[in-house]
């Protein structure tokens, strides 16, 4: 059956549909030996030969879903022209051709979904739908009382940003340190630097940002650099949100704080537990 190339590529686990369109536009896709220039081009995987970056596409692989505790200090791509550390080293041992669902900024840590399921990834990321993401943002000063209430109201009412209005689906005070406050924000969009821009606009620029969960998939108990497979129930939870708008009443207000870690560079793959195991020469059972 003929289908659009980006759909075939997503099914085959090459990339999300949106990313597949970028690959086509960048001239990296060939159909029967000819570079594809048109986004609407259709093909049939049973008859046609499709190559991405010269590599032949095969029919669908098994779908895998994982969550990476992305550390701060690495980019959410598989290679970086500037030579910065990327998330590739945390996922390169995965046999399937997996990629991240959306992005976290270089300096942001937390839950990053990793998959080869292009269709579900597309539905989760699509701006029309809006899966909920929970962030903890550290800001300067002790925000509490009336000031805290006003700030949360403002965040939930929304502010005007240069690319349109933005608001938190839910916002609350999470914790205080002697000098700072952690604010919990739930948003249902993936616009670039959204939380940083939202907090800046309400007069509280972010010092540190942690994504506690994406669509309810969290990194509690994990350490930066650690990757784990999702349970059946977690994959079902993601599927149940695909193609729907996030709802404020689904928000989970009990959120874990980021893992404590010393140092500012991204850690070695596997997180603290794997590093300890490596250091002590212990073997995985």
User: In the annotation, is 247 catalytic?
Assistant: no
Q: Is 92 exposed, middle or buried (0-12, 13-18, 19+ CB in 10 A)?
A: exposed
- Residue 50 is encoded by which pair of tokens? 């499709």
- Binding positions for ligand URA, rule: CB under 6 A: 104-105, 108, 193-196, 209
CA distances from 228 to 59, 124, 153, 272 (A): 25, 19, 36, 13
Question: Shortest distance, CB of residue 129 to ligand URA, whole angstroms?
Answer: 17
For the chain, the helix, strand and coil percentages under 3-state DSSP, each to the nearest 5:
25, 25, 50
Whole-angstrom CA distances from 139 to 74, 107, 208 are 22, 15, 7
Nearer to ligand URA by Cβ, of 10 and 87: the residue is: 87
* 8 vs 104, beta carbon nearer ligand URA: 104
Cα separation of 148 and 283, whole Å? 49
In the complex, what is the shortest distance from the CB of residue 131 to ligand URA, in angstroms, rounded to a whole number? 13
Q: Which is nearer to ligand URA, 152 or 194 (by Cβ)?
A: 194
Q: From the CB of 192, what's the least distance to ligand URA, in Å?
A: 7
- Shortest Å, Cβ 185 to ligand URA: 9
CB of 261 to ligand URA, least distance (A): 18
Identify the CA nearest to 174 among candidates 131, 146, 215, 135: 135
Residues 6+ apart with CB under 8 A from 152: 171, 172, 173
In the chain the first and final C-alpha atoms are separated, in Å, by 46
CB closer to ligand URA, 193 vs 276:
193
The SS3 assignment for 140 reads strand
- Residue 151: count of CB within 10 angstroms of its CB: 20
The CA dihedral of 114, 117, 119, 120, to the nearest 10 degrees, is -60
Residue position matching structure tokens 């603290």: 272
Active-site residue identified among 48, 105, 119, 250: 105
How far apart are alpha carbons 86 and 99 in whole angstroms? Answer: 12
DSSP per position, 23-45: HHHTT-EEETTEE---TT-EE-T
Beta carbon of residue 268, minimum distance to ligand URA (angstroms, whole number): 22
Residues annotated catalytic, as ranges: 105
């Amino acid at each position: 059956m003929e289908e659009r190339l980006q759909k075939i590529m997503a099914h085959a686990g090459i990339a999300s549909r949106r990313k597949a369109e970028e690959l086509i536009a960048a001239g990296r896709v060939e159909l029967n030996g000819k570079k594809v220039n048109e986004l609407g081009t259709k093909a049939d995987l049973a008859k046609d030969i499709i190559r991405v970056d010269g590599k032949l596409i095969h029919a669908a692989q098994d779908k895998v879903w994982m969550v990476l505790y992305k550390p701060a200090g690495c980019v959410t791509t598989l290679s970086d022209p500037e030579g910065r550390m990327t998330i590739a080293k945390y996922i390169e041992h995965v046999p399937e051709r997996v990629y991240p669902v959306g992005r976290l900024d270089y300096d942001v840590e937390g839950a990053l979904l990793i998959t080869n399921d292009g269709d579900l990834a597309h539905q989760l990321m699509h701006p029309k739908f809006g899966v909920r993401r929970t962030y903890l943002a550290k800001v300067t000063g002790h925000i509490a009382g009336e000031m805290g209430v006003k700030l949360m109201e403002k965040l939930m009412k929304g502010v005007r940003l240069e690319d349109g209005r933005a608001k938190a689906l839910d916002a609350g005070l999470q914790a205080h340190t002697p000098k700072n406050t952690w604010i919990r924000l739930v948003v249902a969009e993936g616009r670039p630097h959204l939380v940083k821009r939202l907090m800046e606009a309400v007069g509280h620029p972010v010092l540190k940002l942690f994504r506690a969960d994406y669509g309810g998939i969290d990194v509690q108990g994990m350490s930066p650099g650690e990757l784990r497979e999702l349970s059946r129930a977690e994959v079902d939870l993601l599927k149940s949100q695909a193609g729907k708008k996030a709802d404020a009443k689904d928000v989970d207000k009990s959120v874990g704080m980021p893992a404590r870690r010393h140092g500012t560079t991204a850690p070695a793959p596997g997180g603290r537990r794997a590093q300890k195991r490596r250091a002590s020469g212990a073997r995985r059972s």
